Amino acid sequence: MPPEHPGAAGFPQDGRTLVGWSAARILEELGAPESRHAGNSWSVPEGWRNRTYSRQADGQIQEMQWFGPKGPRVLQPGDPYETWRYENVRSCVWLLYVAGKPAEEAVVDLDVYPVGAIF
């Protein structure tokens, strides 16, 4: 297991409370993530299930089916966002989905799963 993230103590017990936090506040209170990358998958609620979409190598967005973190559920397929990955916070990986105009970026959704989970 990787060492615990230095800002782990600042993460709330209920991760949903991070939704709405500004990117600046996240960096100030929780520290920098282990990685950041442009988001390339979206999950759109539809009835009792979610439809999952992914950006392909050619830039096209297609519906896909896979097991694991699906991406933000509050954005439309193709909307830009970044995934901020925190590797070990209380034995979990936290994926924060950050979107918005520069200087207005905020957490819009997140996924949390156990360290070492295989998808």
pLDDT tens, 21-71? 999 999 999 999 999 999 999 998 887 778 899 999 999 999 988 677 888
Q: Which two tokens stand for residue 28?
A: 């100030």
CB 112 within 8 A of CB 96: no
Q: Are strands 41-46 and 82-89 parallel, antiparallel or unpaired?
A: unpaired
Which of the 8 DSSP states describes residue 104?
S
Higher pLDDT, 104 or 45: 104
User: What does pLDDT average to over the chain?
Assistant: 92
How far is the C-alpha of 88 from the C-alpha of 79, rounded, in Å?
Answer: 28
Which of the 8 DSSP states describes residue 92?
E
How far is the C-alpha of 48 from the C-alpha of 39, rounded, in Å?
Answer: 24
Beta strands in 21-105 (DSSP E): 35-38, 41-46, 49-55, 61-64, 82-89, 92-99
Q: What is the pLDDT of residue 119?
A: 65
Mean pLDDT within 106-112: 96
Q: What are the backbone dihedrals phi and psi of residue 63, each rounded to the nearest 5 degrees, phi first? A: -70, 135
Contacts of 50 (CB under 8 A, 6+ apart): 43, 44, 70, 73
Mean pLDDT within 81-87: 96
Mean pLDDT within 75-95: 95
